[in-house]
Amino acid sequence: MSLLVIANWKANPKTQIEAKKLAKAIHQYLVKSKKTAVLAVPAPFFDAIKSLKSKRIILGAQDISSFSTGAHTGETPGEILKSFGVNYVIIGHSERRALGEPHAVVNQKILKALSLGITPVVCIGELSREHLDRALSFVRLQIETALVGISRTKITKVVIAYEPVWAISSNNGRQATPEECNEMIVYIRKTIADIYGQTIAKQIRILYGGSVSGKKDATDFAKHGGAQGFLVGRASLDPSSFSTILSV
Ligand code: PGA
């Protein structure tokens, strides 16, 4: 399985011109290396990214409304994302959960994305690792509530991003070790197996996210951390760092 690398630009950069410049630099690397990457960018930049007509950049969004089109001021329904050619959407990022997004809404958003054929990238991760038993039950609850009502045929379309909240760069945390990452990825897979069985659990792609900054740690997380790809925040805003991650 080749690695899936997703850039999470968060609320960056400041202008459309900068967004295009950044995407262009990433595109150049992708063409040279014959790789692909998902760029999950702020919705106002969708057109700028699309204007590059890059076959190697896959368009991603950072959120999706749980509602369909209609009288929902401020929401961005999946139907609109779909019309822009969005193929992946980050759901339940810790920065959204911290604003009060409840488990049930995360679940509705996943169901919505799946119904439209958009791949949900579901963020799962404990706030602290101090007490492992608490961290495990926190992660289990996030998974069980996220996957309510997802059929056995649809579940294999879901991508999980294990993002320990304490390891995300903006929290000034330390990076997880590949061993810590592996331990939790094994547990996430076991939790999925408890619901859907081993065969299905083995097919689910699990990424790691949290201060992945370059080739060395990407290699370590892929080799020893059980990660089948990365969700990259800060380093995805720097084409040369992001390229070294993509080179793994
Ligand atoms: P980071 O962000 O790579 O800056 O830690 C990852 C994320 O929040 O998705």
**pLDDT tens-digit map of 173-196:** 788 999 999 999 999 999 999 999
> CA torsion 123→99→141→41, rounded to 10°?
-10
- Pick out the chain residues at pLDDT < 70: none
Active-site option among 95, 101, 163, 183 = 163
C-alpha of residue 157 to centroid of ligand 1, in Å: 22
Ligand 1 mutation target, pool 4, 8, 62, 122, most atoms within 8 A of CB: 8
pLDDT of amino acid 170: 83
Closest CA to 125 of 148, 96, 158: 96
Which of ligand 1's atoms lies nearest the C-alpha of 167?
A: 5
pLDDT of amino acid 174: 81
pLDDT of amino acid 106: 98
A 10 A CB-CB count for 61 gives 25
Which of ligand 1's atoms lies nearest the C-alpha of 234?
A: 4
The whole-model pTM stands at: 0.98
C-alpha of residue 91 to centroid of ligand 1, in Å: 14
Task: Report which protein residue has its CA nearest ligand 1's atom 9.
Answer: 233
C-alpha of residue 242 to centroid of ligand 1, in Å: 12
27 is a catalytic site residue: no
146-173 pLDDT, tens per residue? Answer: 999 999 999 999 999 999 999 998 887 7
Helix locations, 61-177, DSSP H: 78-83, 94-97, 103-115, 132-146, 152-155
Active-site option among 93, 95, 126, 183 = 93
d(CA 181, CA 178): 5
93 is a catalytic site residue: yes
Task: Report which protein residue has its CA nearest ligand 1's atom 2.
Answer: 233
Ligand 1 mutation target, pool 4, 99, 163, 171, most atoms within 8 A of CB: 163
Give whole-number Cα distances, 177 to 81, 123, 171, 215, in Å: 35, 18, 16, 15
